[in-house]
Amino acid sequence: MGKVRTTIVKRTARKLLEKYRDLFTRDFEHNKKVVSQLIEYRSKKLRNQIAGYITHLIAIEEKKQKQEEEAL
């Protein structure tokens, strides 16, 4: 079984990626700082979950792009 992420984590992460794609990288620590600047959540855990999911989504995208380049 994998990690279970709540709807609010996924929805917020996707919205942030849509609006601010160029601000995020594959580095969790960097993404954590960016998320804390963009949204006001009191919960450190929620901020970390959102930053972690964004990091995960970016890693998946980069992996897909790399596979597409190798296929060419």
46: CB partners within 8 A, 6+ apart: 8, 9
Predicted local confidence at residue 32, as pLDDT? 96
**pLDDT of 69 strictly over 90:** no
Residue 25 and residue 31 in contact, taking contact as beta carbons nearer than 8 Å: yes
How do residues 8-61 score in pLDDT, each as one tens digit? 999 999 999 999 999 999 999 999 999 999 998 789 999 999 999 999 999 999
Class of domain 7-71: mainly alpha
Residue 56 and residue 25 in contact, taking contact as beta carbons nearer than 8 Å: no
Q: Where are the domains of the chain?
A: 7-71
Predicted local confidence at residue 64, as pLDDT? 93
pTM of model > 0.85? yes
**pLDDT of 68 strictly over 70:** yes
